[in-house]
Amino acid sequence: MDTATTTKLGKGERTRRRIVERAAPVFNQRGFAGASMNELVAATGLEKGGIYNHFGSKEALAIEALDYSVSLLVDRFTRALESPEHAADRLAALIDAFADLEGHPDVPGGCPVANTALESDDTNPELCTHARTAMDSWHRLIGSIVKTGEQRGELRADTDPYALATVITATLEGALMLSRLMQKPAHMHRAAAHLKAHVDSLRAGA
């Protein structure tokens, strides 16, 4: 949300927005279970009662924080797709945009979708549902680019949009995890380069 839009919000909405923005890194780095109320109090600058005045529960705040973090990813992808027109170039732009999370995250702590999915799979169905929805949206975006590319004759007609969406997301999420775990950005660089080479090979007539 830009500054002009934020200033139009009422005081309560501005406070709520500020809580979400400041809580998002805590949840993304610590996880839902690991994020203590003391840490959330310190991050937001509000007492526990002040936080609960805007959010009925820690879970409600975690869900809004996740949705906020995902919205930043969506903005990142939207900006990446502003210029390229060819389907292969659009896919490469998406790959680069995600790969840039390794060094320039929107919210500290890695990919919020993967982090939430890993932690909440068996413990918090609602958080997991929000993470699944975000990943479904990314898969649909990749799939739509592939289908449009095939219709325009830009990509090989036998390109499977579903398989490519799986390969791209799984490879990038895995590479981000490896880069963070090993503290070596090379893992992400290699994965992104490999994916872009694969996408380039899918150009019609390649």
DSSP 108-143: TTS-HHHHHHHHHTTT-HHHHHHHHHHHHHHHHHHH
- Is residue 2 pLDDT above 60, yes or no? no
- Is residue 5 pLDDT above 80, yes or no? no
User: DSSP 3-state assignment of 59?
Assistant: helix
The CATH number of the domain covering residues in 1-65: 1.10.10.60
CATH 1.10.357.10 domain span(s) along the chain? 77-206
Alpha-carbon gap, residue 27 to 103, rounded angstroms: 19
pLDDT for 78-136, tens place per residue?
A: 999 999 999 999 999 999 999 999 999 999 999 999 999 999 888 899 999 999 999 99
CATH 1.10.10.60 domain span(s) along the chain? 1-65
Task: Say which residue the tokens 């503290």 belong to.
Answer: 183
Note the helical H segments in the chain.
3-8, 11-34, 37-44, 48-54, 58-80, 87-99, 112-120, 125-151, 161-182, 186-201
- Residue 86, H or E segment: none
pLDDT score of 206: 73
- Is residue 6 pLDDT above 80, yes or no? no
- Which CATH superfamily includes the segment(s) 77-206? Tetracycline Repressor, domain 2 (1.10.357.10)
DSSP annotation of 153 reads T
> In this structure, are residues 107 and 72 in contact, taking their beta carbons and an 8 Å threshold?
yes
pLDDT score of 153: 98
pTM to 2 decimal places: 0.91
109 phi, psi to nearest 5 deg: 120, 0
How sure is the predictor about 193, in pLDDT bands with cuts at 50, 70 and 90?
very high
> In this structure, are residues 34 and 7 in contact, taking their beta carbons and an 8 Å threshold?
no
Average pLDDT estimate for 141-164: 98
* Cα-based distances in Å from 185 to 14, 29, 161: 36, 18, 28
> In this structure, are residues 130 and 116 in contact, taking their beta carbons and an 8 Å threshold?
yes
pLDDT for 40-71, tens place per residue?
A: 999 999 999 999 999 999 999 999 999 999 99
